[in-house]
Amino acid sequence: MNSVILQAATRIALGLILLFSLYVLFRGHNDPGGGFIGALIACGGFALFTFAYGTARVRKALIICPRFICMAGVFIAMLSGLPALFFDSPFLTGLWTPAYLSGESDWPISTVLFFDIGVYLAVFGTVMSILLAIEDDA
């Protein structure tokens, strides 16, 4: 689809959509949202981008192959479970920074957050690789 209006709108919309998707990802622990939804939102944005510019541009914009992103996501999610083992807890037990737990810091940095990022990347990579493969094939 070679529409100037769509392309111009996409350029602004994609940025906003991605920003929103990250926002949804990070607010997920306390408000509606999370890695899964965030990833789907980002995919929606990139679907728009695909229609406006074609798959070649999308691949270039993503830099990393979506299949790799998806595997990296699974890997990160698994890694986030490992620190718990050093504290004698079962695999994937959530851990928070001492500063947050004691109330000194407002930043809820935790292994759970990294797990959610892993989910985000896995879902995003999967949907994007399907989307691009089908669009390429057509």
Partner 1 sequence: MVLFGFSRRCKHFFRTMKDIMNSAVRIFFTLVATGSFALFALLLSCFADITAGNPVVLAYEWVPALGVNLDFYIDGLALLFALLITGIGGVIFLYSAAYFAKDKQGIRVGIYLSLFALSMLGLVTADNLLTLFVFWELTTLTSFFLIGTKHEKEDARAKAFQALIVTGLGGLAFLAGVILMGQAAGTYRISDIIEMDMTGHALYPYIFGLVALGCMTKSAQFPFHFWLPNAMAAPSPISAYLHSATMVKAGIFILARFHPTLGGTDLWFYTLLVLGGVTAVWASVLALREKDLKLMMAYTTLMALGTITLYLSSDSPASIQAGMAFLLVHALYKATLFLVVGNIEKATGTRDWSKLSSLGRVMPFTAVCAGLAALSMAGIPPFLGFIGKELIYKSALTFPGFSWLVTAQMFVAASLMAAIAFFVILHVFRPAAKPVMPVKKLKQIPPLMKYPYMVLALLGLAMGLYPAFGAEMLTNAAAFSILGAVPADGMTDFKLWHGVNTALLLSILTMVTALFMALRFAQLSAFVTRILAWLPPGCERGYNRCMSAIQAFAHLVTDILQNGRQRFYVMTCFATLIALTALAYIRTPFVPYANMADIVAIPWYQWMIAAVIILGVMITILAHGRLLAICALGVIGTTVAVLFSMFGAPDVAMTQFMVEILVVIIMSIVMLRLPHFTGKAHGSRAGRLRDAIVACVAGVIVTIVMLRITYTPFDRSMTDYYEQNSYVAAHGRNIVNVVLVDFRAMDTLGEIMVVAIAGLACFALVNLGRSKRKAHS
Half-sphere exposure of 58 (CA within 13 A, CB side): 26
What's the min distance (Å) between Cβ of 5 and partner 1? 19
**Near partner 1 in 23-42, by CB under 8 A:** 24, 28-37, 40-41
Closer residue to partner 1, CB minimum distance, 7 or 37: 37
Contact stretch for partner 1 (CB under 8 A) within 1-9, 56-64, 116-124? 116-124
Half-sphere exposure of 118 (CA within 13 A, CB side): 17
Is residue 30 within 8 Å of 69, Cβ to Cβ?
A: no
Is residue 131 within 8 Å of 50, Cβ to Cβ?
A: yes
- Report how many residues bind partner 1 under the rule CB under 8 A: 51
Give me the helix-helix angle, 111-137 and 66-79, nearest 10°: 160
**78 belongs to the binding site for partner 1 (CB under 8 A):** yes
Is residue 41 within 8 Å of 24, Cβ to Cβ?
A: yes
**Where along the sequence are the contacts to partner 1 (CB under 8 A)?**
24, 28-37, 40-41, 43-44, 47, 67, 70-71, 73-74, 77-78, 81, 91-92, 94, 96, 100-101, 108, 110, 112, 115-116, 118-119, 122-123, 125-127, 129-131, 133-138
